Amino acid sequence: MKILVIEDERSLLASIVQYFNQEKFLCDTAGSYNEGIAKIESFHYDCIILDINLPGGSGLQLLKYLRQNKSRDGVIIISARDSLDDKIDGLNLGADDYLIKPFHLSELNARVRALIRRKYAAGASVLQVGPLKADLASRSIICEDQSISLSKNEYDLLLFLMTNKNRVVSRQAIAEHIHDGPSEQIPSFDFVYSHIKNLKRKLKEKGCHEIIHSVYGLGYKLFS
Amino acid sequence: MTRTLQQKSTRYFLIWLPLVLLVGTGLFYILMSMHAHHMEEEQLELKQENIWNAIAANREMPAAHITGEYDLAKGSPVRSHLLDIRRDTAIYYPVSKDWMSFKLLTEQHVLNGQPYQLTTYVSSREITHLIIKVFIADIFVFILLLAAIVVINRISSGRLWQPFYVTLKAVQTYDINQNQSLPLDGQTGTWEFDQLNQVITHLIGHVNQAYSSQKQFTENASHELQTPLAIIRSKLDLLIDSSTLTEETAGLLADITEANDRLSQLNKNLLLLTKIDNHQFPDQSSVKVSEAIEKLLAHYQDHHGGDLPVIRKSIQPGIGIKANASLIDILLSNLINNAFVHNIPNGYIDVRLDNKVLVIENTGHSIEGETGRLFERFKKGREESKTTGLGLSLVQRICGIYHFDLHYHYGENIHRITVMFSQK
């Protein structure tokens, strides 16, 4: 899988590239509008991660240019602009997703993978991690050939951990991911703990022992 | 008491003009009477002179008495102290059965060595009638004058101030959010209004410029602050995934993560406050309050770990208000969030929505300091580090925009917030 990250902030760019390299993605980078245009004209990418404020032009202009040239590359906008209007503008111009800064890299990873699944692997909607199989169409989890009944939150949580397998995912990232609203509406992160506890118990019942580990209270990691 | 310019000037005229006219009328009456009496005296003296001259020239005595004209008596004066004094008298006229008032003057004359007393009469009735008639006419003229001055003043000031009212209306209906220029007539024909319009046009231009640059600043500030926060967050994500993580560094990372999240939350809320202050939420639609509250409550119940407070609710369905949907969402979520966050173990939350009055009551810790100051920025009820201290401030601003009444009440560990969504 090949992705292009267009972001003028070098430090953030480096973090994203490091994260996706560890995920075995091929990463290309662009630090300005013109550099971005040059890259999208020459190559095809599975996904483009696009900042809006760029030196030399706006990310939205770049997106317009991309769509006018009939390119179907998936685009995820990452922007500090958090108003609904900005979001709608971006999506109307043909972006596939819109992520507001600051975001968690695990969240960006989940979005990129979901986008790639939607766009290129329409038929194969099964995600397998170790003994766990997630059927994305029917939203069900199968463990060792046994179906596990999970609540909506538990399913979202498990899928998020499976997408970010073998990595530590922070409690905050999980909370924001499950909580499909702005993060200021989260009274406490305690609910993550209780969901994990329930999830572990249910997995254990079906024979998936010790697959989710807690990492010093910072976050959780799912081993494949 | 505020009145219009016209009412005010009419009021001044109606207070002062009658006073001036009253004094004027009094003076006029006094002067008129003085002149009239002077005229009577002159007539008396003239009559005296004319009659005596006629008597002296004829050399024979005429009739001694003509009623209302003269009396002629021979001999030295009986009452000499009445000589040369103008006196009032009344004479009875049997024909008209009427007493008539007269002025009389008695003078001593000598003819052929004989003393005579001649008393002449002048009727004072005509002159009194004249005074009264002129006086009445004068009052009519004065009243007419008063009415004319007031009416002319009203009409002329209405016309004079016309450009002012046009300007006033334009400024009143001006909406800074639209960021338009305000075209005002610079050639009204009145120097003062030309100046006023020029100054206002100038001012609006400046305000527009300041408003645009402030909006720009808000956007830029958001971007500039969110970017370093995003970098810190991404580095933290990488750090917690590193293989060299120890328990000690994990503790440090947990603290940094929490502080960074709070910083990012604080930044978001501050920008939101600035945007609300700048009225950058102009879009209005019909917001379904009942549904929004139900949704938020369900959401919190769903995402609340640990002790969930008992939730009691009585929400009248179908309550809607006209407002900005995002703002109402922020308002409601902040209030409900507070009820959850500041609750105590085994506490409760009571939400009632009835006829556009929302009451949220919850158990909680006691508050230190004045309850009225809770709505100020960065004012916290307790020294709890996990909140930004901007939540209630946001609530107050939003209520301010839509003129919702907001009340806070605290008593015996129960907090109650009342919002009245009644719009004027």
Domain ranges of chain A: 2-120, 126-222
Q: How far is B257 from chain A (nearest CA, A)?
A: 9
Domain membership flag for residue B165: no
Would you state the pLDDT for residue A176?
86
Tell me, which fold does domain A126-222 have in CATH?
A: Arc Repressor Mutant, subunit A (1.10.10)
Residue B114 has pLDDT above 70, yes or no: yes
Q: How many cross-chain Cβ pairs, A to B, lie less than 8 Å apart? A: 121
pLDDT digits (tens, 9 = 90+) for B204-221: 988 888 887 877 787 677
Based on the fold, state whether residues B146 and B91 are members of the same structural domain: yes
With CA atoms as reference, report the closest residue to B52 among B103, B107, B113.
B107
Contact residues for A218 (Cβ-Cβ < 8 A; gap 6+): A168, A170, A171, B240, B250, B253, B254, B257
Residue A49, classed as helix, strand or coil, is: strand
Cis peptide before A102 (omega within 30 of 0): yes
pLDDT given for residue A186 in this prediction: 62
B148 shares its domain with B73: yes
Per-residue pLDDT, B334: 87
Closest alpha carbon within chain A to B335: A185
Q: Count of domains in chain B?
A: 3
Q: How far is B419 from chain A (nearest CA, A)?
A: 20
Cβ-nearest to B250 among A102, A190, A216: A216
Residue B359 pLDDT more than 70?
Answer: yes
DSSP secondary structure letter of residue B345: T
Report, as an integer, the average pLDDT of B418-423.
84
Q: Looking at residue A77, what is its pLDDT?
A: 95
Nearest CA distance, B248 vs chain A (angstrom):
9
For chain A, what percent of residues have pLDDT higher than 70?
Answer: 94
The answer to whether B237 contacts A187, with C-beta atoms less than 8 Å apart, is: no
A102:B265 CB<8 A: no
Does the interface ipTM go beyond 0.85?
Answer: yes
Q: Looking at CA atoms only, how far is residue B304 from chain A in angstroms?
A: 5
Strands A2-6 and A47-51: parallel
Do B196 and B317 belong together in one domain? no
| Higher-scoring residue by pLDDT: A43, B306 | A43
CATH code for the domain of B323: 3.30.565.10
108-147 of A, contacting B, C-beta below 8 A: none
Which pLDDT value is given to residue B384? 57
Query: CA B335, CA B395: separation in Å to the nearest integer?
Result: 8
Nearest CA in chain B to A54: B223
Residue with tokens 């002629």: B72
How far apart (Å, rounded) are the C-alpha atoms in residues B273 and A81?
15
Mark yes or no for CB contact A189/B235 under 8 Å.
Answer: no
Q: In this predicted model, what pLDDT tens digit does every residue of B46-93 receive, in sequence order?
A: 988 888 888 888 766 777 788 888 888 887 666 667 777 888 888 888
pLDDT score at B178: 65
CATH code of residue B192: 1.10.287
Compute the distance between CA of residue B89 and CA of residue A86 in angstroms, rounded to an integer. Answer: 106
pLDDT surpasses 90 at A26 = yes
Within a domain: B193 = yes
* Domain match, B76 and B35 both: yes
pTM for the predicted model, two decimal places: 0.65
B257 and chain A in contact, CB less than 8 A: yes
Count of CB atoms situated within 10 Å of the CB of B418: 16
Res. B343 pLDDT band, cuts 50 70 90: confident
SS3 content of chain B, % helix, strand, coil (to 5): 55, 20, 25
Question: Within this chain, do residues B225 and B319 fall inside the same structural domain, yes or no?
Answer: no
Q: Is B47 exposed, middle or buried (0-12, 13-18, 19+ CB in 10 A)?
A: middle
Q: For residues B11 and B54, state if they share a domain.
A: yes
**A88 touching chain B per CB within 8 A:** no
Note the pLDDT of residue B223.
66
- Tell me which residue in A105, A179, A183 faces B237 most closely, judged by beta carbons: A105
- The domain made up of A2-120 is a member of CATH 3.40.50.2300: yes
With respect to residue B174, please indicate whether it lies within any of the assigned structural domains: no
Instruction: Tell me which H or E stretch contains A34.
Output: helix A33-42
**Which residue range is the domain that position B218 belongs to?**
188-280
Task: Choose the closest CB to B254 out of A183, A184, A217.
Answer: A217
Instruction: Answer yes or no: do B334 and B211 share one domain.
Output: no
The answer to whether A108 and A16 have CB atoms below 8 angstroms apart is yes
Condensed to tens digits (0 to 9), the pLDDT of residues A147-203 reads 888 888 889 999 999 999 999 999 888 988 887 655 555 656 778 888 899 899 998
Residue A219: both structure tokens together: 């976050």
**Count of Cβ atoms closer than 10 Å to residue A196 Cβ:** 19
Q: What is the mean predicted confidence (pLDDT) over B287-311?
A: 82
B9 and B148 fall within a common domain:
yes
Residues of B with CB below 8 A from A9's CB?
A: 227, 230-231
pLDDT in tens, B315-342: 888 888 888 888 898 899 888 888 888 8
Establish whether domains A2-120 and A126-222 are of one fold: no
Q: State the alpha helices, DSSP H only, in B241-280.
A: 247-277
pLDDT > 70? residue B382:
no
Q: Are B129 and B209 found together in one domain?
A: no
A19 in Cβ contact with B238 (< 8 Å): yes
State the average pLDDT for chain B.
84
Confirm whether B182 is domain-assigned. Answer: no
- Token duo for residue A160: 């998020």
Compute the average pLDDT of residues A77-105.
88
Contact list in A for residue B306 (CB cut-off 8 A) is 188, 190, 194
Give the whole-number percent of chain B exceeding pLDDT 90: 11
3-state class (DSSP) for residue A24: coil
Asked whether residue B325 falls in the same domain as residue B254, the answer is: no
Contacts of B234 in chain A (CB under 8 A): 12, 15-16, 19, 102, 105
